[in-house]
Chains A and B, each alone.
Chain A
Amino acid sequence: MSASDYESASKGASSDVATFDDEEKGLFGRFHHALHATPALVPLIVLMVAIGIFAIVLGERFFSPGTLTLILQQVQIVGILALAQSLIILTAGIDLSVGAMAVFSSVIMGQFTFRYGLPPAVAVAAGLAIGTGIGAISGWLVSKVKLPPFIVTLGMWQIVLAANYLYSQNETIRSQDIRDEAALLQFMGIRFELGGAIITMGVVTMVVMVIVLAYMLRSTAWGRHVYAVGDDPEAAELAGVNRHRTIMSVYMLAGFICGIAGWIMIGRFGSVSPSASTGVVGNIQSITAVVIGGISLFGGRGSIWGAFFGALIVGVFELGLRMAGANAQWTYLLIGALIIGAVAVDQWIRKVTA
């Protein structure tokens, strides 16, 4: 066949595997490669450095089991919300309603117990179910109606927050009443001491959830599908992933996790308050933790550990700077710089050919 004659010219070419000198990359290149392979490494390093600096400057006042576990307690709500946020962002979405869902879930748990006299266990289950249900609505709007996640959850944030005030009639359930009549609602606040370290059930729940979610994302087909859908939804669908089911499961799981966050809020604050600040600031705080944790807002890249470290970084900065007597604005300023820095690092890591 004469048409393929031109190909014979390449016959003499070497057919060896192309090899490249690894040495050229050097330490810097290897570092770059490690970051590319393990995206949670950057936030982990930042976290360690931050703890190290505060430990040197503040000494034992900061670097003690009591203070370090206090940070865990302070970040437990945002930390859990960041896990929900991570799942959504991995699918290239964003959820502006996580904080509102958490507050509403906590209100459901409280009101179901005190208004309807339901057993606390049923009320907790109802709160978790409502969280999951709200997630399902958002997921359906994103997946079936194909609305942008930003719009869906921006609307859902307002709707859920308003529903929360309307339903609760802006009534706070006092900590004392909960302790006396429905101690299960404060279950997440149960604390135990371990050599100066104070651990709450909420903190334990957060850590367990990080481990479980990390496992699900890494080692199950569902996790791979979450990444694939976030990376390129059309490719994933053509390759045989059920995009709709994956997105629905992610939004529902995120809603459920927000319900858990609501339960933890009752443990942390003692009372149930529909006007808890989490409903407003929790959304942005969770996105901050996720971004600092190196999860790409374009979806498909990053690890849930990164979001956890991101939440801890924020917690370390807040407490460390407060202990150092700095104006609280310095915290926000530094967090802002960290957000921009984290995304810049993300862009750099993604340059595979660098």
Chain B
Amino acid sequence: MSTEPILKARNLVKRYGKVVALNRCDFDLYPGEVLAVIGDNGAGKSTLIKALSGAIQPDAGEIWLEGKPIQLPSPIEARRHGIETVYQTLAMSPALSIADNMFMGREIRKPGWRGKLLKQLDRKEMERLARDKLNDLGLMTIQNINQAVETLSGGQRQGVAVARAAAFGSKVIILDEPTAALGVKESRKVLDLIQDVRSRGIPIILISHNMPHVFEVADRIHVHRLGSRLCVIDPKSHNMSDAVAYMTGAKEPDQHLETA
């Protein structure tokens, strides 16, 4: 590919005691694409994603965003750079409302002295924006933007988390197992959301175990094995059994794939 990767990592290393979770791992995400990251359990997918989202700091290696080297000491810093992550655990506060959760950590204050002096939150504006974002993504089944997140179904919660990422993720959105806990219809909705976000030009990193989902939405597939990138495959020229074979080590990829 001739264009420059929007998010690039080289030689990432992360050790947990004697366990090597990332072993000189490389990573490339190109503008506007959906890149799936697949790998067996324990291959280090989560560690890679955490390093890219600022949740952990690699022991060695470098990360570039839009060609510029960046440090990601915390998730807050990653978000400041426009990298939004939907964690498997969703990272929501169950007792707080949908609007509260969507704006957690980047609340909007009232204009004028009430916002400046009294630091008063602009609830109306946050509720309006939250409702807009959910509507944008076709999540209208949520009736009340002020209902507590704990009263939502699993799919709705996932939808709110994706909407939150889509609303603020200006550069990269990372989705960690977004369909793992969902039913058929709800999974479909999340896949549609992914297409929708891609059509707005925001690249997505999708971590998933679900091969049909991966092959449906991904433009490229990063196969992770033993703590590093084994190869990158094109879902159009490979099938699911190839992917599973690479992932589990049953088959070694062709030499030319490794640099793809």
Q: Which residues of A contact B (CB under 8 A)?
A: 1, 3-4, 6-7, 10, 13, 17-18, 215, 219-222, 224-225, 227-228, 231-232, 234-242, 300-301, 352
CB closest chain-B residue, reference A2: B212
Given the known A-B contacts A224-B104, A238-B85, A300-B93, are A219 and B120 also in contact in the complex, defined by CB atoms under 8 Å? yes
* Contact between chains at A235 and B92 (CB < 8 Å): yes
Q: In the bound complex, how far is the Cα of B92 from the Cα of A240, in angstroms? A: 11
Number of residues from B at the complex interface, CB < 8 A: 40
Give the chain A neighbours of B79 by CB distance below 8 A: 240
Within 8 A of A (CB), among B120-156: 120-121, 123, 140-141, 143, 148, 150-151
Interface stretch (choices B35-43, B95-103, B246-254): B95-103
Find the A residue at minimum CB distance from B123: A219
B75 at the A interface (CB under 8 A): yes
* A353 CB → nearest B CB, Å: 9
Asked if B89 is at the interface of the complex by the 8 Å CB criterion, the answer is yes
A231 touches B76 (CB 8 A): no
Q: Does B188 contact A (CB under 8 A)?
A: yes
Chain A residue numbers with a CB within 8 Å of B256 are: none
Please provide the chain B residues from 52 to 94 with a CB less than 8 Å away from any CB of chain A in the complex.
Answer: 55, 75-76, 79, 85, 87, 89-94
Q: Which A residue's beta carbon lies closest to that of B188?
A: A7
Given the interface pairs A1-B215, A7-B184, A219-B121, the reply to whether A242 lies near B76 with Cβ below 8 Å is yes
Partner of A231, one of B95, B105, B143, B151: B95
Task: Quote the shortest CB–CB distance from A12 to chain B (angstroms).
Answer: 12
Query: Are B185 and A10 closer than 8 Å at their CB atoms?
Result: yes
Check B93 against A235 for contact (C-beta < 8 Å).
yes
- Complexed CA–CA distance, A239 and B119 (Å): 20
B118 / chain A contacts, CB cutoff of 8 Å: 215, 219-220
Contact in complex: B121, A221 (CB < 8 Å): yes
Contact among A1, A228, A301 for B216, CB-based, below 8 A: A1
User: Once the chains bind, are A3 and B212 in contact (CB under 8 Å)?
Assistant: yes
- Known contacts: A4-B216, A238-B91, A242-B76. The answer to whether A224 contacts B107 by CB under 8 A is yes
List the B side residues contacting A17 at CB < 8 Å: 140-141, 143
State whether the Cβ of B200 lies closer than 8 Å to any Cβ in chain A: no
10 closest A-B pairs by beta carbon, nearest first, are A240-B105, A3-B212, A238-B91, A221-B107, A231-B93, A239-B104, A228-B93, A235-B91, A220-B119, A239-B91
Q: Which of B91, B105, B109, B188 is the one whose CB lies under 8 Å from A234? A: B91
Contact with A along B154-182 (1 / 0, CB 8 A): 00000000000000000000000000000
Asked if B18 is at the interface of the complex by the 8 Å CB criterion, the answer is: no
Contact A18 B94 (CB under 8 A): no
Indicate if the CB atoms of B119 and A222 lie closer than 8 Å: yes
Chain A residues lying within 8 Å of B184, measured Cβ to Cβ, are 6-7, 10
Report the Cα distance A234→B119, complex, angstroms: 25
**Given the complex of chains A and B, what is the CA–CA distance between A232 and B118 in angstroms?**
27
**Shortest CB distance B115–A (Å):** 10
The one of B75, B107, B119 that contacts A238, using a Cβ cutoff of 8 Å: B75
In the bound assembly, the distance between CA atoms of A18 and B188 in angstroms comes to 18
Q: Is the CB of A240 within 8 A of B104?
A: yes
Residues of B within 8 A of A301 (CB): 95
5 A–B contacts, CB within 8 A, in A order: A3-B212, A224-B107, A235-B93, A238-B55, A241-B105
In the assembly, what is the distance between CA of A226 and CA of B10, in Å?
A: 38
Known interface pairs A13-B185, A219-B120, A224-B104. Does A3 touch B150 (Cβ–Cβ under 8 Å)?
no
Identify A4's interface contact among B89, B123, B212, CB under 8 A: B212
A7 to B118 CA separation, bound complex (whole angstroms):
51
Given contacts A10-B184, A240-B75, contact A224 B100 (CB under 8 A): yes
Q: Give the chain A neighbours of B90 by CB distance below 8 A.
A: 235
B198 CB, nearest partner CB in chain A, Å: 17
Inter-chain contact A3/B188, CB cutoff 8 Å: no
Mask: chain B, 219-238; 1 = CB below 8 Å from A; 0 = not: 00000000000000000000
Given A222-B119, A227-B95, A231-B96, decide whether A3 and B216 contact each other with a Cβ distance below 8 A: yes
A199 to B79, CA, bound (A): 51
Query: Complex formed: what's the CA distance from A224 to B102 in Å?
Result: 12
